[in-house]
Amino acid sequence: MRVFIALDLPKDIKSILFNLGREIKGRYPFIKPVPEGNLHITLRFLGEISEEKCEILKENLKDLGKSFPLKLSKVGGFPTEMGARVIWVGFEESKELFELSLKVDTIVDSLGFPKRDKPFVPHITLARTEKPVNVENFKVKNLTFFAKEVVIYQSILAKPNAIYKSLKVIHLEGD
């Protein structure tokens, strides 16, 4: 099974970001927006793992700390804003988000999963495209929301979009 760990988003934030993705699609009709229900912040992608390893992960991923605020800050792109193939929304710097990512990494690494191969870059993917686009003129409202739930998801590859199945929800304290 294909698995990742993510910070879930409140429904109102998902709706606002989905509408931003549609706005960008209005300018670039060929982009593929992420479905509203699939919007999240990936904390760690694990890829293909066995059901047994997934059960061990579910048993051990807990006590991840307190709920904390995140503030949306900008629209960006990978590999660059002027040649984006992945269009994303980022945040004002958050020590708590990096600490959460480190906690998740520590638990996952202790269970024998392969180490993270790239540094953690917190973002919410809005859309993907094969043809690079310029996103430097798009803006996101500087909204603040609380990070309340970490979810272990199974990603089922399907057309036209992947299906994300929640396997375990970990509530952050104070939620």
Among 162, 149, 141, 175, CA closest to 7:
149
Contact yes or no for 18/125 (Cβ under 8 A): no
Check if 40 is active-site.
yes
Distances (CA, A) of 125 to 4, 38, 108, 111, 171: 14, 9, 23, 28, 22
Check if 171 is active-site.
no
Distances (CA, A) of 157 to 37, 47, 143, 154, 166: 15, 12, 31, 10, 14
User: Which of 123, 140, 148, 149 is an active site residue?
Assistant: 123
- φ, ψ for residue 107, nearest 5 deg: -65, -50
d(Cα 57, Cα 171) in Å, to the nearest integer?
A: 16
Return the amino acid letter for 161: N
User: Which of 14, 40, 44, 148 is an active site residue?
Assistant: 40
Catalytically annotated residues: 40, 123
